[in-house]
């Protein structure tokens, strides 16, 4: 019978057992343990065998019988039967918690394991406290339970008690502690556990080594920490190799990770999942073409897994869906979706959420909303809400995203709003410039205890900055108890939106004093800030640019060159700007030439402008903005026929320019306007009020600048086009609705034209109101006839 059990042949073992002429306690104990290890209905079979043992053969259970029974309950998650077995063991004196005698340490440990694995940690702790004897397995069982439930600080405290009692830690103890350090603490605690493994001689143990690799992959200062542990292991298994591969992926070293994958002596489905997940996570921060390539490589790996007959788990399917979302290929997404349905993958919250995300990213919004409506996981409905909201954000439909969040907020899933969801909602408020709702989200964060989560705090700074509430952003930043680099970048961005270059350079000086190491984003913001100082700051900008590589080891990317070119152009140093472009270590992209072109608007130079346009048109001939630029160039030269031909060609190719749109806020709602828009319910009042205000501004010296109308029409028609730009309509509605002493807030999706800028300066003087406009260049605060941007 035992031979069959060792071979994994439970049915044959049971047949032998049933034919045995006489059975003893060892026979029953062995078969119960066999069912616990091999059977699909282990608890029912174990209970049936226990009844036969006591009633048919009149045998008393031994400690091995109880261990087998409790193991079956633990593996099948049956705490009810486990509690009954506990009572029987206590009654027969086989356990000490509670019991009349010392009991059996084997049974006590099995009892602890059963309660922990069944999620009954309270019962496990009571049993542990009642034990007269404990060995390392006893301590390990409770340690594992505390870590499983996220009670990491208690786990370290318990480990301290364990060492004080004279029990030496083993590999299981250290593996649990490393998990606690990784999930709840961080690098210092993990390094302390590593030091203990060296002192105790356990650093060469396979399971400890694998746990160390996993810890350093997530919390190490560099990939060298992972490599050092891996190289020091005398024995390595597939988990070790997969951990090394994952470490390279975590640090963004995809090619080195793939080299490890190729050199691995053995692979399993977990290895493939690690590569698939790595491809998905490393698409962030790279350009679209590279991100798409990463997604396609992930899909290729998924196909290889299917062809090789490897196990396809929920993690695999989720990874494949994420890879398809990155690739953003509609046809491929439909094929992958069909495969998921055909292969019978179980519907889980994570797979369904990934399906919604994939559909959105692949242009299948209708399918995404259909999946949302068919969501079957009531206990995790918040995941569907999150997916739908983020889908709207990704499509740039911020009003719909906010509406989705507010629906979620008002529904019964409000208790599931976590750091991730709230951060996304604050981002939506910032994108819209909706300060009132943003402040409500801030209050919710304070009430729900999420305020001190660093991600939420950073999102609050960003939200206030984008909503024009710079003082609130600074005040919150100064009150933060914990700041990371993202916090500093957020407060710099807030000042940059308000064109406060000197304040940004002061913040940078503070960061240097505090020893905060910048990243490439920090430098991009700092260089851009030099365009917004009150005096020429090109020398300081040049110093910052050169220090990137010389002092901080950060190689300037295309974005940094573009920002530096813009600074040089803004201060009229076009010769140096063109020299910088000519000396770039890679071919200048459209971004660089567009920056040079934008800087010409501040310091006009027709020669430089034409040269920049020529390069831009050559680099992006199929970009809609390039067609618009070409058309505008023809219009400025009065070549109206050529301009119209260009626009016609653009329409024939299905290209559309981004329509200018402005919006303002009233009664907790967004009110949007396009140029010459009459769809608003109060359009009659808006147009009447605007006509009166224009006349008042003209009396005060405002002169409509029809050069901003690039159409071949009569002068009076140009003036008509000019008068009803979207930002004027939104500002007029705001003036009509704003109460005494309240500013008017307007957001525009593209840059405001020069005529609207001039008009709003006069309007602020005529009405005595503060008019705040955020366009693609930042904030313009019009007050008493002047603008904060100083342009």
Taking only the tens place, the pLDDT of each residue in 391-411 is: 777 767 888 888 878 877 776
Res 412 pLDDT > 60: no
- The 3-state secondary structure of 87-107, one letter per residue: HHHHHCCCCCCCCCCCCCHHH
Sign, CA torsion 178/182/183/188: positive
Question: What is the pLDDT confidence band of residue 40, given thresholds at 50, 70 and 90?
Answer: low
More confident residue, 547 or 627: 547
Alpha carbon 203 to chain centroid distance?
A: 34
How far apart are the C-alpha atoms of 739 and 720, rounded to whole Å? Answer: 29
Dist CA 620 CA 624 (whole Å): 9
Mean pLDDT lowest among 229-233, 341-345, 488-492, 633-637: 633-637
Q: Is 16 exposed, middle or buried (0-12, 13-18, 19+ CB in 10 A)?
A: middle
- Six-digit token string for 372: 């949302």
* Distance from C-alpha of 384 to C-alpha of 368, rounded to nearest angstrom: 10
Q: What is the mean pLDDT of the chain?
A: 84
Does position 503 have pLDDT exceeding 60, yes or no?
A: yes
Length of the chain: 791
User: Per-residue pLDDT tens for 238-290?
Assistant: 999 989 998 888 887 878 888 888 898 887 777 877 877 777 666 543 334 44
Q: What angle do CA 403, 404, 408 make, to 5 degrees?
A: 115
State residue 438's pLDDT score.
93
> For position 348, what pLDDT does the model report?
76
Q: Which residues pair with 774 in a beta bridge?
A: 747, 779
Round to whole Å and give the CA distance between 661 and 198. Answer: 64
Could you give phi then psi for residue 742, rounded to 5 degrees?
-100, 135
| CB burial of residue 734 (10 Å; 0-12, 13-18, 19+) | buried
Q: What is the pLDDT of residues 691-726, one digit of tens each?
A: 999 999 999 999 988 776 656 556 667 777 788 999
CA angle, corner 344, sides to 339 and 348, nearest 5?
100
Whether the Cβ atoms of residue 764 and residue 732 lie closer than 8 Å to each other: no
Give the pTM: 0.65
Could you tell me if 16 and 42 are in contact, meaning their C-beta atoms sit under 8 angstroms apart? no
Render pLDDT for 197-213 as a digit per residue (tens, 0 to 9). 888 888 889 989 988 99
For residues 90 and 83, what is the distance between their CA atoms, to the nearest angstrom?
Answer: 10
Where are the chain's structural domains?
Answer: 662-787
Strand partners, 672: 663
Look at residue 585 and give its three-state secondary structure: coil
Mean pLDDT computed over 42-70: 82
pLDDT at res. 381? 65
CA distance 110 to 78: 14
Of all helices (H) and strands (E), which one includes residue 728? Answer: helix 726-737
8 A C-beta contact, residue 337 and residue 355: yes
Percent of the chain with pLDDT over 90: 28
Percent of the residues in the chain that have a pLDDT greater than 70, as a whole number = 89
- The token pair at 599 is 């800087």
Question: How far apart are alpha carbons 79 and 86 in whole angstroms?
Answer: 10
- C-alpha dihedral, 706 to 712 to 717 to 721, nearest 10°: -60
605 burial type by CB count under 10 A (0-12 exposed, 13-18 middle, 19+ buried): middle
User: What pLDDT is attached to residue 303?
Assistant: 82
DSSP 8-class letter at 573: -
């Amino acid at each position: 019978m035992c031979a069959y059990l060792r071979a994994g042949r439970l049915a044959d073992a049971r047949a032998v057992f049933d034919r045995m002429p006489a059975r003893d306690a060892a026979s029953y104990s062995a078969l119960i343990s066999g069912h616990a290890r091999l059977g699909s209905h282990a608890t029912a079979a174990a209970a049936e065998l226990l009844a036969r043992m006591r009633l048919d053969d009149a045998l008393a259970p031994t400690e091995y019988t109880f261990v087998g029974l409790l193991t079956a309950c633990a593996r099948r998650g049956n705490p009810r039967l486990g509690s009954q077995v506990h009572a029987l063991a206590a009654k027969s004196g086989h356990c000490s918690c509670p019991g009349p005698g010392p009991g059996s340490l084997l049974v006590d440990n099995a009892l602890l394991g059963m309660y922990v694995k069944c999620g009954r940690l309270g019962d496990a702790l009571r049993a542990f406290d009642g034990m007269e004897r404990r060995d390392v397995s006893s301590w390990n069982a409770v340690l594992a339970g505390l870590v499983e439930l996220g009670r990491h600080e208690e786990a370290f405290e318990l480990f301290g008690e364990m060492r004080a009692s004279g029990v030496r830690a083993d590999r299981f103890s250290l593996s649990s502690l490393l998990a606690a350090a990784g999930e709840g603490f961080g690098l210092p605690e993990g390094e302390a556990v590593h030091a203990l493994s060296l002192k105790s001689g356990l650093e060469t143990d396979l399971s400890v080594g694998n746990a160390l690799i996993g810890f350093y992959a997530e919390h190490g200062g560099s990939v060298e920490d992972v490599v050092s542990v891996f190289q020091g292991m005398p024995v390595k298994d597939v988990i070790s190799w997969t951990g090394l591969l994952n470490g390279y992926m975590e640090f963004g070293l995809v090619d080195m990770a793939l080299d490890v994958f190729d050199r691995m002596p053995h692979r399993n489905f977990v290895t493939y999942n690690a590569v698939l997940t790595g491809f998905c996570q490393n698409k962030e921060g790279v350009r679209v073409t590279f991100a798409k390539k990463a997604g396609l490589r992930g899909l290729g790996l998924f196909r290889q897994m299917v062809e090789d007959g490897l196990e396809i788990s929920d993690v695999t399917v989720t990874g494949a869906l994420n890879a398809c979302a990155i690739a953003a290929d509609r046809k491929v997404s439909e094929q992958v979706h069909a495969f998921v349905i055909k292969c019978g993958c179980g519907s889980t919250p994570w797979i369904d959420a990934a399906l919604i995300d994939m559909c959105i990213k692949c242009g299948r919004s209708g399918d995404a909303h259909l999946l949302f409506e068919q969501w079957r996981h009531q206990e995790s409905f918040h995941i569907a809400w999150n997916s739908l909201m983020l889908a709207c954000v990704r499509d740039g439909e911020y009003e719909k995203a906010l509406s989705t969040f507010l629906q979620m907020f008002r529904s019964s899933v409000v208790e599931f709003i976590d750091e991730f969801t709230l951060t996304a909602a604050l981002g939506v408020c910032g994108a819209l410039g909706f300060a009132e709702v943003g402040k409500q989200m801030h209050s919710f964060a304070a009430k729900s205890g999420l305020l001190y989560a660093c991600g939420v705090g950073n999102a609050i700074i960003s939200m206030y900055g984008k909503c024009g509430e710079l003082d609130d952003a600074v005040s919150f930043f100064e009150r933060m108890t914990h700041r990371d680099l993202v916090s500093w970048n957020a407060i710099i961005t807030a000042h940059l939106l308000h064109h406060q270059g000197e304040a940004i350079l002061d913040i940078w000086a503070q960061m240097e004093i505090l020893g905060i190491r910048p990243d490439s984003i920090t430098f991009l913001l700092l260089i851009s800030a030099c365009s917004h100082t009150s005096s020429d700051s090109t020398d300081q900008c040049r110093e910052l640019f050169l220090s990137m590589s010389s002092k901080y080891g950060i190689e300037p990317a295309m974005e940094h060159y573009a920002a530096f070119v813009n600074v040089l152009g803004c201060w009229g140093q076009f010769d140096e700007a063109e020299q910088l472009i000519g000396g770039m270590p890679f071919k200048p992209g459209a971004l660089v030439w567009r920056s040079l072109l934008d800087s010409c608007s501040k310091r006009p130079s027709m020669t430089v402008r034409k040269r920049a346009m020529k390069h831009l048109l050559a680099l992006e001939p199929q970009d809609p903005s390039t067609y618009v630029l070409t058309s505008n160039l023809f219009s400025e030269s009065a070549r109206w026929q050529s301009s119209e031909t260009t626009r016609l060609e653009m329409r024939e190719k299905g290209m559309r320019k981004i329509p200018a749109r402005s919006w303002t806020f009233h009664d907790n709602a967004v009110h949007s306007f396009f140029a010459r828009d009459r769809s608003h319910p109060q359009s009659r009042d808006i147009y009447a009020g605007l006509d009166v205000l224009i006349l008042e501004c003209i009396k005060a010296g405002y002169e409509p600048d029809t050069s901003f109308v690039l159409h071949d029409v009569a002068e009076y028609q140009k003036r008509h086009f000019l008068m009803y730009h979207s930002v004027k309509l939104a500002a007029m509605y705001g003036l009509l609705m704003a109460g005494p002493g309240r500013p008017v807030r307007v957001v525009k999706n593209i840059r405001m034209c020069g005529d609207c800028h001039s008009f709003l300066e006069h309007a602020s003087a005529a009405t005595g109101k503060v008019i705040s406009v955020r366009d693609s260049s930042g904030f313009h605060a019009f007050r008493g006839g002047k603008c904060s941007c100083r342009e």
